[in-house]
Amino acid sequence: MKQFKMLYPYLRSSKPQIVVAFLFAAISVFFKMSIPFLTGLAIDQIRGGNLDLSLHLILMGGCLVFGALFRYLFDWFTAYVAQRAVKQMRDQLFDALNAVPVSYLDTHYHGDLLLRLVNDIENVQNGLITGAGALFEGIVQALVTVGFMFALNWLLGLTVVALTPISVLVSRTISSQNSRHFKKQNACLSALSNHSLETLNNIEVIHSYGLFQQQSAVFDDLNDQYRGSTFKAMFAACWINPATRLVNNSIYGAVIVLGACMLLWSEAFAFTGTVFTVGMLSSFLTYSYQYMTPFNEIADAMTEVLFAFTALRRVDEVIHETKDIDEGATPLGTVVEHLEAKDIHFSYDGKRTIIDGFDLDIYKGHKIALVGTTGCGKTTLINLLMRFYDPQQGGFYFNGVQGQDAAKKEIRSHVGMVLQETWLRHGTIAENIAYGKENATREEIIAAAKKAHADEFIRRLENGYDTVISATSGLSMGEKQLLCVARIMLIEPEIVLLDEATSNIDLRTELQLADAFDELMRGKTSLVVAHRLSTIRNADHIVVMDQGKIIEQGNFAQLMAKGGFFAELYNAQLS
């Protein structure tokens, strides 16, 4: 079965524990199944006139105690194996999400990916512990019970075994029809989770535009779809238990009828080689019921098992998704002295060209500004330099080494980037500033904050640098951006990328940051993406882009004197 093949890699390292669990299950079931046998002997003894049952009672009590003990050990080992497998699966899924290309993350809903990491893993865990545990014990119980039945009477044992495939066939037929309902249920849950995450992340914008009712209507519709798909899945799954119980009760009835006939007409069944007694019939009826119990328990757990297998497929899809290709191995050296863009051509989808023949020699220590209208390719160039994407032709060269020939990790170790959108983790302010530099000292952190003009507002907080914050904390957008700037100040990279880094900062703070950025960029290569053209007046070189091409370049004075596209943009912003 394909699903078990997907599970096997996570169970491979737990083979000894699985073997021990099987052993404990066999011992537990043996003690459990010995009780009906002893009960049958006691019944026949009473019919013979001997009422002393002390030995039988002692043996049955011992079977109960040892059966319960080994059942506990079986449950413990089963839970251990399941939790170990789920942890390994969760680790691999998280690593896979960090290893997939950026293009994969850009084309998949983040709510759906989060659902796979949390909800789907939880469903796999529940299915493993409940369903696999029931299957695990059920197989052992069925095998041990068959042994006892054949020991009592081979004809009745053969009858039960011969009729068993009917129950299995019914359960499998219903289960195979149910899988499509669970796939639909998971798809609806994914859409609902993604809409919820998107709404919560943009709740301020939604309220500011008065769109709460529209978002609520969409949520109600998605929630109704999920309700409907869940009802169909659960309703379909509910057919498994009554169907298998009907078949199993029919088998149980057949055993009663055949056993009664063997008691009434014992001579006709003399070919079985044993004298069939009332005690043996009593034991056999118990064994017959116990033999069917695992199938009923598996049917009860089938809902969770099917749900778990559907979730497992979704998890496995991400784990085996094509990883981010990084074949580069050429070293760049300890310092990047020269950065150059050569004949870059790039398209995200292979249809619409974003960068078309971009060439630029970027000198060390120069501040290069990229300007142009929205969609001209400025941010795309930053993505290409960081190797979040690779161009179809050409590329960035670091010390003469093409970016695709160098390891991504090495390229990024030379680059510091401040984006328009801030990213803060749950932790103290000091931990957030030191995120890019392991083992940074408190003195280094404070010095970086001072350069970024963040020290003043940090000290006003109740716990200063030890204040715990997160992406949703009460800090203003400008304060969050200052912390991100301080983070770059701390690592002091050779190449600095600023993608509208001051867009969320007020004019006064922006003026304060100007000196800090100048200090940070002194002697370093820097690329600045800017929409507010007034912020790049002191740039060494300004590159004006339109539709992925360079249409003008020069310093601020040269471009304004030319009176071209840049001058029109600048004057339009002032008007």
User: Taking 70 as the threshold, does the pLDDT of residue 111 lie above it?
Assistant: yes
Give mean pLDDT, residues 171-178.
Answer: 66
Given this model, what pLDDT does residue 502 score?
A: 63
pLDDT classification of 475: cutoffs 50, 70, 90: confident
- Based on the fold, state whether residues 18 and 158 are members of the same structural domain: yes
| Inter-helix orientation angle 54-99/278-319, to 10° | 10
Give mean pLDDT, residues 265-278.
Answer: 67
DSSP E strands: which ranges in 216-354? 339-346
- Based on the fold, state whether residues 263 and 388 are members of the same structural domain: no
Has residue 330 been placed in a domain? Answer: no
Distance CA 109, CA 205 (A): 19
User: Taking 90 as the threshold, does the pLDDT of residue 511 lie above it?
Assistant: no
Residue 14 region by backbone torsions, left for phi larger than 0, else alpha for psi between -120 and 50, else beta:
alpha
pLDDT classification of 396: cutoffs 50, 70, 90: very high
Classified as helix, coil or strand, 368 is strand
For residue 276, what is the domain's CATH number? 1.20.1560.10
- Based on the fold, state whether residues 236 and 166 are members of the same structural domain: yes
- Based on the fold, state whether residues 546 and 453 are members of the same structural domain: yes
Given this model, what pLDDT does residue 346 score?
A: 92
Distance CA 429, CA 463 (A): 10
The pairing of strands 355-362 and 339-346 is antiparallel
Given this model, what pLDDT does residue 442 score?
A: 92
User: Taking 60 as the threshold, does the pLDDT of residue 246 lie above it?
Assistant: yes
Q: How many domains does the chain have?
A: 2
- Based on the fold, state whether residues 436 and 306 are members of the same structural domain: no
User: Taking 80 as the threshold, does the pLDDT of residue 252 lie above it?
Assistant: no
Given this model, what pLDDT does residue 130 score?
A: 67
Has residue 326 been placed in a domain? Answer: no
- Based on the fold, state whether residues 442 and 493 are members of the same structural domain: yes
Has residue 258 been placed in a domain? Answer: yes
User: Taking 90 as the threshold, does the pLDDT of residue 12 lie above it?
Assistant: no
Has residue 334 been placed in a domain? Answer: no
User: Taking 60 as the threshold, does the pLDDT of residue 504 lie above it?
Assistant: no
Backbone angles phi, psi at 570, to 5 degrees: -65, -45
Average pLDDT value for the chain: 80
Given this model, what pLDDT does residue 505 score?
A: 60
Given this model, what pLDDT does residue 443 score?
A: 92
361 vs 246 pLDDT, higher one: 361
Distance CA 18, CA 16 (A): 5
Given this model, what pLDDT does residue 459 score?
A: 92
Given this model, what pLDDT does residue 1 score?
A: 58
131 vs 357 pLDDT, higher one: 357
Residue that terminates a domain, selected from 287, 319, 351? 319
User: Taking 80 as the threshold, does the pLDDT of residue 401 lie above it?
Assistant: yes
Domain that holds residue 396: 339-574
213 vs 170 pLDDT, higher one: 213
74-83, 129-138, 434-443: range with lowest mean pLDDT: 129-138
Given this model, what pLDDT does residue 69 score?
A: 93
Residue 426 region by backbone torsions, left for phi larger than 0, else alpha for psi between -120 and 50, else beta:
beta
For residue 278, give every residue at least 6 positions away whose Cβ sits within 8 Å of its Cβ, in sequence order, or none.
43, 44, 47, 263
* pLDDT per residue as tens digits for the range 404-423: 888 888 888 888 887 777 77
Percentage of the chain lying above the pLDDT 70 cut: 85
- Based on the fold, state whether residues 313 and 348 are members of the same structural domain: no
Give mean pLDDT, residues 175-203.
Answer: 75
User: Taking 60 as the threshold, does the pLDDT of residue 345 lie above it?
Assistant: yes
pLDDT classification of 363: cutoffs 50, 70, 90: confident
User: Taking 80 as the threshold, does the pLDDT of residue 244 lie above it?
Assistant: no
- Based on the fold, state whether residues 207 and 309 are members of the same structural domain: yes
Has residue 39 been placed in a domain? Answer: yes
Give mean pLDDT, residues 323-348.
Answer: 84
- Based on the fold, state whether residues 299 and 268 are members of the same structural domain: yes
For residue 483, give every residue at least 6 positions away whose Cβ sits within 8 Å of its Cβ, in sequence order, or none.
422, 424, 429, 432, 433, 449, 452, 454, 475
Residue that terminates a domain, selected from 264, 285, 319? 319
Given this model, what pLDDT does residue 514 score?
A: 66
User: Taking 80 as the threshold, does the pLDDT of residue 97 lie above it?
Assistant: yes
Give mean pLDDT, residues 339-350.
Answer: 89
- Based on the fold, state whether residues 302 and 363 are members of the same structural domain: no
Given this model, what pLDDT does residue 3 score?
A: 64
Find out whether 416 and 495 touch, Cβ atoms under 8 Å.
Answer: yes
* pLDDT per residue as tens digits for the range 277-308: 777 777 777 777 777 777 666 666 666 777 78
Percentage of the chain lying above the pLDDT 90 cut: 6
- Based on the fold, state whether residues 313 and 449 are members of the same structural domain: no
